[in-house]
Amino acid sequence: MERVSEVVIVPPVLYDKKEPLKVEKVVGDPYDDVWDALRYALYSHHEPEKKPLEMRVQDRLNAIVKGDEARGIPPDPTTAMVQYQRIMREEREDEEPGYYGGGARRRFQQMMRRRRGRR
């Protein structure tokens, strides 16, 4: 059995003069919809993906372990291990979805207590 790979070449298009982010519509052009689909795909993923929790925590711990010689902060693996739980808690809180609705004052007070270390 022979494997054949197909390459599809989409011809260049003209931009719409009224809306420069769109392509000019040409009647009977089979690639009109392809360009629209490509544009929608590109604009729907405008936000960069967030690193996984483990990678974010590891990056922060590595920064503490390495220290910062320019600012006079020595390398300190002990401090990194002590702050591990705090870093995990902060990174998990960043992942929690926001809540909009009634009782906002009470939830805000609870959130502030959690940040200060009280429950």
Q: Mean pLDDT lowest for which of 1-5, 6-10, 90-94, 97-101?
A: 1-5
Residue of 15 and 61 predicted with greater confidence: 61
pLDDT 10s digits, 36-95: 888 788 777 666 778 888 999 999 888 888 877 777 778 878 888 888 989 998 888 877
| Among 41, 46, 39, 44, residue whose Cα is nearest residue 21 | 39
Q: Residue for token digits 């009782």?
A: 103
Residue of 116, 50, 61 whose CA lies nearest to 87: 61
The pLDDT value given to residue 118: 57
Burial of 64 (0-12, 13-18, 19+ CB in 10 A): buried
pLDDT band at 119 (very low <50, low <70, confident <90, very high): low
pLDDT reported for residue 94: 78
CA–CA separation, 29 vs 48, rounded Å? 33
48 DSSP assignment: P
Higher pLDDT, 76 or 7: 76
